[in-house]
Chain A
């Protein structure tokens, strides 16, 4: 990520910005204008805390496209050059061409969510716009959905306090996505481990962000939850830029 201190583009703020600032976040602005929490304490320590207990990172800046199509599995299989049977939940990061590094979550029979770093936005949008034979209508919901990345061995325990979703390993294996709710906030939950670290990405309407922050950190306090900056996430293997 190229970091810029000069404001050459309008500043874009995460919906968690004020909550992050209140717990001592240090912010840096990227080339897309996003002011992101780079660290809270020391990235190495944050990484350790995640690997030991539980951490929450902010992934609200990621680009998200909503795709709706009656044959969405077929479309995704075609785009990702996979068999339809393999397209069960979340595809991952090794799609061809512009889709390399683009996460795709098939949420139901006619809806999928593509998630990517900001640098992928234009090429992916172009690819989707040119898709044949079915006309695809990608809707940019990047600003609509805030995102948190819950990481660490106690992620499951945290989610059991927040949602009635069955997140047991056999029911919700890695690369699975589903609709759920986090304390009455409609959400999309993706299981996406970072290497050996258990991880869940949770997306929900931006307007609920501060409420979700409060309930996540409230529920996670007895589990040792810590906020995690993007530097620590990179140390853990995070690479969506």
Chain B
């Protein structure tokens, strides 16, 4: 098969003034802008574009419309790209797939000779005896199966996928003549219209129809010209056109899913017009999968859009009027036609074409069909034979006709999957030889070839009618504030009836004139007759499966996997269903069809995932941290500074001088209102009714079953006003929890999440007071601002709240202030703090500092099974309160006794431990370390762990397994550093 480029033609989609260069398997390929990858490779002489799924048979271009898997290639690392629809771009890297060492010589093609070992469902039946054989065979089969391979190492740009939304009145799926007519008509109403088409240009099949549009309002002009006129008519400003966009599903509530490259569009529509056209239907004969065998539409696309002839000598097999079109196109393109097998005769063909065929001595064989294709790596010839009215071969009618191009125009199948997804129903129409719609659902309309009527004028009229119907239904259902149409309702009704009458008349005529013709299927089983090229299924496979008992169409589909491949049944469903009907003694119109489910076309998982779903939160001091070269860490959505370079230096800054820590990620809530105290008293375990204004208290939050959920501080900043804090990761939960209990108790309280609005800096260390005294406008002496006090103050002129708390075990204040001042105040603190050798301190050092004080971090040191008593937090639980969340379960624990207990431990000797190390007793695991680290204060490893309650006594020795080795540690009570807490209360 040798492709040639024709001189410039009207209607071609290529731009000959611009060239494009890409690589194929490392080799440079040049083509024109507008060429697809497949068209470019065809011009390079490529005949084989892929290898089949199971047998690795050579496959060439077939539909050239993105429906079959024959042209799958890897493009820029992405596998399974349809090269027949992928426009070539500069710099693209294209590689073949599913073949080794090359597409032309694939070693795996040897499988084809052993197909007897791989019948349908072989993985249920073969290679299972002896038992050891299956795991071996499975590995081999898995490696060999599939088309392309996903490259897990490929670097992807996470934000390459996009999401968009649309809300429109009418969505029209399909930009061919029916869709364009519907859009033109509906747009006159002023309604918002979305027109979705999977091609780069509108026009549908008219784009590649070079012949005249006879018997229509476009009689005498070519398809290209007709398309232009229809596009012009549908160019109103209330129509949004999405090209290269596929509607892949219709979901509940008229949600339409559309994929456009790497963009996913969710469209909520009120009315949907489906004008998706039809597919050409191949049929089965021996070797019907050879490269060089094309569907008619595929050849027309190549000739008229790309100006490429895919072969030199053609045989055309046809049972409809489009056979004459392709014959004319081939002749005009200079392709020699060896023979035309017109299965249902050529009576409907134009005389001028017949005359031309006669003059060129082209055999026009009425009543003939193809019974076999000849060739190995490409078609070399076709065997044609005459078929009588009983559907049998006429003896001695066989003709061997040489060709390198075999064109099939042998029937259609409406592309009605979206209609079926929407809930419409279809039945097989014996007269038309296709499925027709039997039941429509409200708000969904069909127009064009999808209705199984392949007549241009009918398509145009059906489109107009659908547009009118959608408008009429919309007007009935809603009142719009803006005037939308000059048409009155009576005018609209009249127009609709007129249109409907015309449609009915032409449809009746079409039905009368149609003769689908006989489709002969050869009984020859010597060579493979493919019925599903995606899954490499042959006719025999379907028959065998039915004989094995899979005689229901649904089980037959699942067992054989027909219609489950990349084409999703577009090319195989009807053929396989016809065989099923035949084998089960049913008429095709009686047999069930399989269900159509979205997606209609394969979708990349990345498209469904969409753009990154990870919003990032930054504190107002983020850029200060990055300017100090902090290593950042993720804490949920937040980015926090883990360290500024030296854990020990940060630790010592706090212990010996002063350090500052950005704690802005803590949850902060303003609780305001007459019932604020009541709410807090109910939700938290401690007493707050006696908390004075200007004082703060530890806050422990439990679940209703007494389990530790979170902790923080509650500061009373006004008579009915509290500032509550929570841990970073629990802020949203605590907000919802507080609101839940506020509503439950019908409390007069407002709860406002101030987390983002307040920056917070912890200034701590023996010299913290000195530093802050230079900046704050209040007395920070121990008498005026004692431990656990909270004061409103201006720090360097910035209004804030200063909480005197000691999370890290030194004198310190947590300053909460409006976030917009954060960088200003940080600069002031760092500048004034130079005199004390101030350091910024990261989360890692902060954790170590708090570990020194044996502070429990809820959700890090506790989990969903840890109750407050076992977590050694009994001191924060006030059972004398009438009630609080979790009280009753804690009372039960008190009564029943503790099973486990949290402890602090110091490692004996120089051993090390880590978070997560297991604690063992008598060689059995009995507990775990939750937090551990090297304490510079104790110069030993210390940690917090869970142990059985009986092992929790002070001075008890526990055994920890670290890196596979036992490490002994002693249980200690209280803090590891400054046991009495004097330093922080100073």
Q: Is the CB of A206 within 8 A of B757?
A: yes
Q: Is the CB of B167 within 8 A of A166?
A: yes
Give, as a whole number of angstroms, the nearest-CB distance from B75 to chain A: 22
**Residue on A with the closest CB to B478?**
A170
Q: Is the CB of B820 within 8 A of A207?
A: no
Chain B residues positioned under 8 Å from A85 (CB to CB) = none
Report B819-845 CB contacts with A as 1/0, cut-off 8 Å: 111111100000000000000000000
- Tell me the chain B residues, 790-835 only, with Cβ under 8 Å from chain A: 796-798, 818-825
Chain A residues positioned under 8 Å from B268 (CB to CB) = 166
- Tell me the chain B residues, 164-193 only, with Cβ under 8 Å from chain A: 164-167, 192
Check: A5 CB closer than 8 A to any chain B CB.
no
Chain A residues positioned under 8 Å from B619 (CB to CB) = 207
Chain B interface, >50% SS class: mixed
Chain B residues positioned under 8 Å from A142 (CB to CB) = 757, 818
Check: A18 CB closer than 8 A to any chain B CB.
yes
Q: Is the CB of A144 within 8 A of B821?
A: no
Q: Is the CB of A163 within 8 A of B821?
A: no
Query: Interface with A: B558-566, B691-699, B747-755, B903-911, which one?
Result: B747-755
Chain A residues positioned under 8 Å from B162 (CB to CB) = 161, 219
Query: Interface with B: A9-17, A41-49, A89-97, which one?
Result: A9-17
Q: Is the CB of B756 within 8 A of A205?
A: yes
Q: Measured between alpha carbons, how far is A18 from B758 in the docked complex, in Å?
A: 19
Q: Is the CB of B672 within 8 A of A139?
A: yes
Choose from B192, B673, B757 the contact partner of A144 (Cβ within 8 Å).
Answer: B757
Report B619-631 CB contacts with A as 1/0, cut-off 8 Å: 1101100000000
Chain B residues positioned under 8 Å from A144 (CB to CB) = 752-757
Check: B473 CB closer than 8 A to any chain A CB.
no
- Tell me the chain A residues, 171-214 only, with Cβ under 8 Å from chain B: 171, 183-185, 205-211
Choose from B617, B620, B752 the contact partner of A211 (Cβ within 8 Å).
Answer: B617
Q: Is the CB of A137 within 8 A of B672?
A: yes
Check: B266 CB closer than 8 A to any chain A CB.
yes
Give, as a whole number of angstroms, the nearest-CB distance from A240 to chain B: 17
Check: A128 CB closer than 8 A to any chain B CB.
no
- Tell me the chain B residues, 725-754 only, with Cβ under 8 Å from chain A: 750, 752-754
Choose from B166, B752, B821, B822 the contact partner of A139 (Cβ within 8 Å).
Answer: B752
For chain A, which range describes its interface: under 10, 10 to 19, 20 to 34, or 35 or more residues? 35 or more
- Tell me the chain A residues, 146-163 only, with Cβ under 8 Å from chain B: 160-161, 163
Q: Is the CB of A139 within 8 A of B670?
A: yes
Q: Is the CB of A184 within 8 A of B615?
A: yes
Chain A residues positioned under 8 Å from B375 (CB to CB) = none
Check: A168 CB closer than 8 A to any chain B CB.
yes
Q: Measured between alpha carbons, how far is A171 from B167 in the docked complex, in Å?
A: 10
Check: A239 CB closer than 8 A to any chain B CB.
no
Q: Is the CB of A143 within 8 A of B670?
A: no
Q: Is the CB of B611 within 8 A of A207?
A: no
Q: Is the CB of A160 within 8 A of B756?
A: no
Q: Measured between alpha carbons, how far is A209 from B620 in the docked complex, in Å?
A: 10
Q: Is the CB of A185 within 8 A of B165?
A: no
Choose from A168, A184, A185 the contact partner of B192 (Cβ within 8 Å).
Answer: A168
Check: A40 CB closer than 8 A to any chain B CB.
no
With known contacts A143-B820, A144-B753, A161-B162, A170–B618 Cβ distance under 8 A? no
**Residue on A with the closest CB to B664?**
A207
Q: Measured between alpha carbons, how far is A66 from B754 in the docked complex, in Å?
A: 12
Chain B residues positioned under 8 Å from A60 (CB to CB) = 820
Check: A218 CB closer than 8 A to any chain B CB.
yes
Check: A53 CB closer than 8 A to any chain B CB.
no
User: Max chain B CB contacts within 10 Å: which of A14, A144, A211?
Assistant: A144
With known contacts A141-B757, A185-B615, A219-B162, A12–B480 Cβ distance under 8 A? no
Give, as a whole number of angstroms, the nearest-CB distance from A7 to chain B: 9
Q: Is the CB of A211 within 8 A of B757?
A: no
User: Max chain A CB contacts within 10 Å: which of B166, B616, B672?
Assistant: B616
Q: Is the CB of B825 within 8 A of A160?
A: no
Chain A residues positioned under 8 Å from B824 (CB to CB) = 10-13
B-contacting residues of A (Cβ < 8 Å)? 9-15, 18, 34, 60-61, 66, 68, 137, 139, 141-145, 160-161, 163-168, 170-171, 183-185, 205-211, 215, 218-219
Q: List 23 A-B contacts (CB under 8 A).
A: A11-B821, A12-B824, A13-B823, A13-B824, A15-B820, A66-B750, A139-B752, A141-B752, A141-B754, A142-B757, A143-B758, A143-B818, A161-B164, A163-B165, A164-B266, A167-B167, A168-B167, A168-B192, A205-B756, A209-B618, A211-B615, A211-B617, A215-B611
List of 3 A-B pairs having minimum Cβ-Cβ separation, nearest first: A144-B757, A143-B757, A207-B617
